[in-house]
Amino acid sequence: MTTELSVVAPPAPAVRHAEPRLPVPYRVIARWPETPDTVTLRLDPVAEALADFVPGQFAMVHCFGRGEIPVSVSSIPTTGGLAHTVRGVGAVSEGLCAARVGDVLGLRGPYGTGWELERALGQDVVVVAGGIGLAPLRPLIRDAVAEPRRHGRVNVLIGARTPDDLLSKYETRRWATAYTGVTVDRPADGWSGEVGLVTRLLDRARFDPPRSWAFVCGPEPMIRATARDLVHRGVSGDRVRVSLERNMRCATATCGHCQLGPVLLCRDGPVVGWDRAEPWLSVREL
């Protein structure tokens, strides 16, 4: 009986604190293009698994012979494994985008802080994503819409440069939210949706600012504009959670690259409260 049970039970996730800088092999079991330069890879451990990720955390993803980059987790399937969404902009990320089903990558993690949606219990939720910034927010949105009674109204606001740059177009329509808005900076032929900055959608979102939490990810100017707008509307700065990006080499708080003023983003971020982040993002080239 016990033998049978052990066959169906998933393998216990290994916690690898002994050598946090050694990657663990993960196989690409599915791959789908999100946009012309962005790919989502569904990954399963070849043998040993990493500890569980929470939405907002990231892994260092290794492309054999090229190097490794930090990538936020874009899906945490209940069946195990995880997904990463990668935009090809450099040697490593282009190598990852070119990975095929069956290829094996190296992963280490989980690193960093999570979104901590659980702190928004009973409150309205405003998710604002710019471009590939939707990827780290996707597992948070899924959690929020999966259990609608845990929160007030859930809003998802998505912006992208062009219609081609929108991620998860099919999934976006299926999310049962109080409001889902999509806007692009530059419309293409056939685009009948909104045009303009994502902050314009805040007028349509349904939330009570003093009783709301916001989760924001995207390019830094978009984060600044969105967070300031939210605070202006009455959302408390510490309830505006933003995910930030800096160069990262080790992810173990020892290489010094991801400093942003007083914090190391791999350890104290990437998700931080806007009340703390605002002074850092207000100084040019900090």
SS3 158: strand
CA nearest to 58, candidates 69, 73, 44: 73
**Tokens at 257, concatenated:** 């690259």
User: Minimum distance from CB of 96 to another protein (Å)?
Assistant: 14
Among residues 50 and 205, whose Cβ is nearest to another protein? 50
Taking the C-alpha atoms of residue 79 and residue 217, their distance in angstroms, rounded to an integer, is 26
CA nearest to 93, candidates 66, 72, 75: 66
Among residues 53 and 207, whose Cβ is nearest to another protein? 53
User: Minimum distance from CB of 215 to another protein (Å)?
Assistant: 14
Contact 95, 28 (CB under 8 A): no
User: Minimum distance from CB of 94 to another protein (Å)?
Assistant: 11
Taking the C-alpha atoms of residue 203 and residue 197, their distance in angstroms, rounded to an integer, is 12
User: Minimum distance from CB of 131 to another protein (Å)?
Assistant: 11
Among residues 68 and 194, whose Cβ is nearest to another protein? 68
Among residues 176 and 286, whose Cβ is nearest to another protein? 286
Among residues 89 and 146, whose Cβ is nearest to another protein? 89
**Rounded to 5 degrees, what are φ and ψ at 127?**
-105, 125
Task: State the Cα angle at 73 between 96 and 222, rounded to 5°.
Answer: 95
Helix (H) / strand (E) containing 220: helix 220-233
User: Minimum distance from CB of 193 to another protein (Å)?
Assistant: 26
CA nearest to 109, candidates 178, 60, 38: 60
Helix (H) / strand (E) containing 232: helix 220-233
Cα 10 to the chain's mean position, in Å?
25
Among residues 34 and 68, whose Cβ is nearest to another protein? 68
The residues binding another protein (CB under 8 A) are 17, 19-25, 27, 46, 64-68, 87, 89-90, 102-104, 106, 113-114, 116, 221, 224, 245-247, 249-250, 252-257, 259, 261-264, 267-269, 271-273, 276, 281-286
User: Minimum distance from CB of 9 to another protein (Å)?
Assistant: 24
